[in-house]
Structure 1
Amino acid sequence: MSQKLKVVTIGGGSSYTPELLEGFLKRYHELPVSELWLVDVEDGQEKLDIIHALCQRMVEKAGVPMKVYKTLDRRQALEGADFVTTQLRVGQLDAREKDERIPLSHGYLGQETNGAAGLFKGLRTIPVIFDIIKDVQEICPDAWVINFTNPAGMVTEAVYRHTNFKRFIGVCNIPVGMKMFVTDVLKLTEKDDLSLDLFGLNHMVFLRDVLVNGKSRFAELLDGVASGKLTANSVKNIFDLPFSEGLIRSLNLLPCSYLLYYFKQKEMLAIEMGEYYKGGARAQVVKKVEKQLFELYKDPDLNVKPKELELRGGAYYSDAACEVINAIYNDKQTEHYVNIPHHGHIDNIPADWAVEMTAILGRDGAKPHARITHFDEKVLGLIYTIKGFEVAASQAALSGEFNDVLLALNLSPLIHSDRDAEVLARELILAHEKWLPNFATTIEKLKQ
């Protein structure tokens, strides 16, 4: 790697960027980032300016020789990049609000990474990620792309299924939250060596073993969660409903909090419908938090990441992103939880799937952990179902065809009627017309 270490963050005007920078500053002694380029789109110019000014104050306070640049010209930023991080939201929070409210108006869960809302976030995002990858392949082909953009699993699946780019790793903060939870409840210190056996798909991971200093402590962890003595949810954007004792004990696995959408569909829908009838949606909560954050960020005396940032659902993701970059840059061969193709490493799923699992990271990227060669049969049906949905979704994002969107919706276990699928597809495609350029022909037909 060159001595000059250049990182490009696409979606640089995001409220999360100060956390990412904090991660780089904290690790500067081993990850000497000399240039951080923040890239955004015209709509994000104002936020980009605020974030850039705050980042410069943070760098100054840290006293490290890092330069922070801002630009709307992605191709200019990519020249000579070693790492590219993607944290973008096509259509911004207004689009997310439509994703949530339209399904809820028909009595369906509106959550930005699964069901109808997750599908449409994917349809808007995947073509943009493909454009970024085209630029990377042309301008800085040796760079690694570390993606944090949701739906991370669907995006990773699409990249490995429909492009020939191999230096792409999907990152999510859910496993980080699970690891922090385990550390917390088992009262571990930094001296303890903690290793998690984690497997599944993005926002659908299960913990099947926890090794502390080489010894399994999974039984006591499972018992604590099942009996209700421990609560296994460290994510800010999901209602804190405990899984039933029977479910945890019968699975003999610890599901991540997003699995509430499958194991507690009725309850989650009731909660979301209640919010919806009061005029609320998660996007509005986030808008409020964002507004407060940007007010704080504007303060010329602020030169650290404010505590309030942790109210956003993606808190701590920078640790995941920075650690992944650190592991590759320094060839660390350390354990991480990422979205990658497993290339046949798992013996009971198709070889071409991208999965989220424990992996070892170094100079050559991520390799699935040797301990995990088999996905637990008990949850394989659910995993197959959601992967079928992801594969169909990535095809629809590519084709812009109405029937491909219908297929993906009908394959989602959160959609319960083929007629409703048609209504949702039509309404959501038209609502997002501006952000679905490759659906132009489909949109024309729908308007006739």
Structure 2
Amino acid sequence: MLEKQSVVIAGGGSTYTAGIIMMLINNQDKFPLRKLKLYDNDFERQKIVADACDIIIKERAPQIEFIASTDPEEAFTDVDFVMAHIRQGGLPMREKDEKIPLKFGVLGQETCGPGGIAYGMRSITGVIELIDYMQKYSPNAWMLNYSNPASIVAEATRVLRPDAKIINICDMPVAIKQAMADIVGLKSGNEIVDRYYGLNHFGWWTEVRDKEGNDLMPKLKEHVSKHGYAPDVSVDNPMLAEASWMDTYQKARDVYAVDPDTLPNTYLKYYMYPDYVTKHSDPNHTRANEVMENREKNIFAECKRIVSQQTAKDTNIEAGEHAEFIVQLAGALAFNTHERMLLIVKNEGAIANVDPNAMVEVPCIVSKRGYEPLSMGNVPHLQKGMIEQQVSVEKLVVEAYIEKSYTKLWQALTLSKTVPSASVAKEILNALIEANKEYWPELK
């Protein structure tokens, strides 16, 4: 019999929280829980989600003790796993991350370019705070962190909390692997065995096979060369119902064309085609607005409906792909299942010709002893050059945060492939400093 676990979800007021709880409930045979907690520093926002989740748990898994708290000691005491997905500044600050760079003719994106750097400067404080709570109240726990921007956060934790039991993860490769499965006729991305290297939101597949060992790359390349990762037939993928995501999936066709030997992560469009992204962006209505108008509005409305009716029996809240990934990872760490998963880890030779201290995204074997990165060997000049440039950006951001250095943050923005010059970088930086006064350290 599997030992029951205790989990705290940090970022309890997130629009993803209810879906994660649904996934946890649905997987009690694989990852049984004795206790489930929510933690957020925004009481009102968390209460909307928590009140609905309380009803969901009582109806579907009443054996699980449920607590929602804004008190770190209560939330982090007696837990085996911290599942962290916080957003410092919420969606209003995401909107600024996206819209400020656009004023200067530079793409505005949540995790890439100037917006990602701004978000990273905010996220470091929050994630380090969570690690400290975990180490104080449950020192043997693991943190599974999927707070964005994952690469900057991972670099910060490497430098500032090198001994912390933390694994940084991202759901984007999971979503792309599901798109691959749809293309080749598999039911799930879990049926794919892959080789992949790069950074978070910045990587390439070199091999994609099914579990019988059949090579899926030829069929995938043929499809991606024409359609990107978008389906050429209707599939049930709610992500692709949104115009911005459909464009991102389709644009993978042009990213693929730059290197037809590999298959790209969709986010590479921001680095390879920043002019295209900027040209096709509405400076008055960005992705943050889409999220506030759609996912946030719908999830919160459904949570309130559940509370008003005091039942979740007919709820439309479903477990997302990233929630399943988190449960698999936690199960591998708790029960030694030796899952093969894409994680963001210290390089240490996994990509042989890249800085060993870079935080890279590669396949790892996960067990009770933690994670073991698989060797991806040397990578070609195109990928090596792009990776090393972006690694330097991320290291400069973390150094700027620690040293409170205006110059190093200016250097980070200047070095970003999305920014055309040091003068534009300086203008954007000054605007971002003004917008982030409440969240960033004061730069000198």
- How much has 1:376 moved relative to structure 2? 3.9
Kept in 2: contact 1:59–1:66 (CA 8 A) = yes
**2:27 partner amino acid:** R
Which of the residues 413, 419, 422 maps onto 1:415? Answer: 419
The 1:420–1:11 alpha-carbon spacing in structure 2 relative to 1, beyond 3 Å, is: same
Give the match for residue 434 of structure 2.
430
Give the match for residue 27 of structure 1.
27
- How much has 1:169 moved relative to structure 2? 0.9
Kept in 2: contact 1:52–1:68 (CA 8 A) = no
Give the match for residue 393 of structure 1.
397
Would you say 1:109 and 2:129 are equivalent positions?
Answer: no
Q: 5+ residue gaps in structure 1?
A: 443-448
User: CA–CA distance in 2 between the matches of 1:318 and 1:291?
Assistant: 20
Kept in 1: contact 2:336–2:367 (CA 8 A) = yes
Kept in 2: contact 1:393–1:404 (CA 8 A) = yes
Give the match for residue 288 of structure 2.
283
User: CA–CA distance in 2 between the matches of 1:252 and 1:190?
Assistant: 24
Give the match for residue 446 of structure 1.
none
Kept in 1: contact 2:209–2:217 (CA 8 A) = yes
The 1:247–1:296 alpha-carbon spacing in structure 2 relative to 1, beyond 3 Å, is: closer
Give the match for residue 292 of structure 1.
298
Give the match for residue 270 of structure 1.
279
- How much has 1:3 moved relative to structure 2? 4.1
Q: 5+ residue gaps in structure 2?
A: 232-236
User: CA–CA distance in 2 between the matches of 1:250 and 1:243?
Assistant: 11
Instruction: State the SS of the aligned residue for 2:312.
Output: coil
- How much has 1:67 moved relative to structure 2? 1.6
The 1:407–1:387 alpha-carbon spacing in structure 2 relative to 1, beyond 3 Å, is: same
Would you say 1:5 and 2:5 are equivalent positions?
Answer: yes
Where does 1:20-169 land on structure 2 (aligned, <5 Å)? 20-41=20-41, 44-169=42-167
Would you say 1:374 and 2:417 are equivalent positions?
Answer: no
Count residues in correspondence.
Answer: 429
Kept in 2: contact 1:193–1:214 (CA 8 A) = no
Instruction: State the SS of the aligned residue for 1:231.
Output: coil
Cα distance per residue 1:228-248 (max 9 Å; x no partner): 386379665543443446943
Give the match for residue 173 of structure 1.
171
User: CA–CA distance in 2 between the matches of 1:224 and 1:252?
Assistant: 14
TM-score (norm 1): 0.89
User: CA–CA distance in 2 between the matches of 1:306 and 1:108?
Assistant: 41
Instruction: State the SS of the aligned residue for 1:345.
Output: coil
Deviates more, 1:210-219 or 1:242-251: 242-251
Kept in 1: contact 2:19–2:317 (CA 8 A) = no
Alpha-carbon RMSD: 2.4
Deviates more, 1:17-26 or 1:161-170: 161-170
**1:255 partner amino acid:** P
Kept in 2: contact 1:8–1:84 (CA 8 A) = yes
User: CA–CA distance in 2 between the matches of 1:192 and 1:11?
Assistant: 26
Would you say 1:384 and 2:388 are equivalent positions?
Answer: yes
Give the match for residue 350 of structure 2.
345
Cα distance per residue 1:327-363 (max 9 Å; x no partner): 1111110111111113223211121111111111111
**1:296 partner amino acid:** E
Cα distance per residue 1:114-172 (max 9 Å; x no partner): 11110010001112211222222222221111111100111111111232224111111
- How much has 1:254 moved relative to structure 2? 0.9
- How much has 1:284 moved relative to structure 2? 1.4
**1:379 partner amino acid:** Q
User: CA–CA distance in 2 between the matches of 1:340 and 1:186?
Assistant: 29
Would you say 1:324 and 2:329 are equivalent positions?
Answer: yes
The 1:351–1:222 alpha-carbon spacing in structure 2 relative to 1, beyond 3 Å, is: same
The 1:197–1:306 alpha-carbon spacing in structure 2 relative to 1, beyond 3 Å, is: farther
Kept in 1: contact 2:52–2:303 (CA 8 A) = yes
Cα distance per residue 1:404-426 (max 9 Å; x no partner): 21111111111112112111111
The 1:248–1:91 alpha-carbon spacing in structure 2 relative to 1, beyond 3 Å, is: same
Q: Name the % identity.
A: 25
Give the match for residue 234 of structure 2.
none
**2:436 partner amino acid:** H
User: CA–CA distance in 1 between the matches of 2:30 and 2:66?
Assistant: 19
- How much has 1:192 moved relative to structure 2? 8.8
TM-score (norm 2): 0.90
User: CA–CA distance in 1 between the matches of 2:293 and 2:315?
Assistant: 16
The 1:150–1:246 alpha-carbon spacing in structure 2 relative to 1, beyond 3 Å, is: closer
The 1:67–1:201 alpha-carbon spacing in structure 2 relative to 1, beyond 3 Å, is: same
Kept in 1: contact 2:9–2:39 (CA 8 A) = yes
User: CA–CA distance in 2 between the matches of 1:304 and 1:20?
Assistant: 17
**2:434 partner amino acid:** L
- How much has 1:181 moved relative to structure 2? 1.3
**2:370 partner amino acid:** G
- How much has 1:257 moved relative to structure 2? 1.1
Instruction: State the SS of the aligned residue for 2:50.
Output: helix
Where does 1:179-190 land on structure 2 (aligned, <5 Å)? 179-189=177-187
The 1:187–1:126 alpha-carbon spacing in structure 2 relative to 1, beyond 3 Å, is: same
Cα distance per residue 1:48-93 (max 9 Å; x no partner): 1121111112112213411221111123211121111111111111
- How much has 1:19 moved relative to structure 2? 0.9
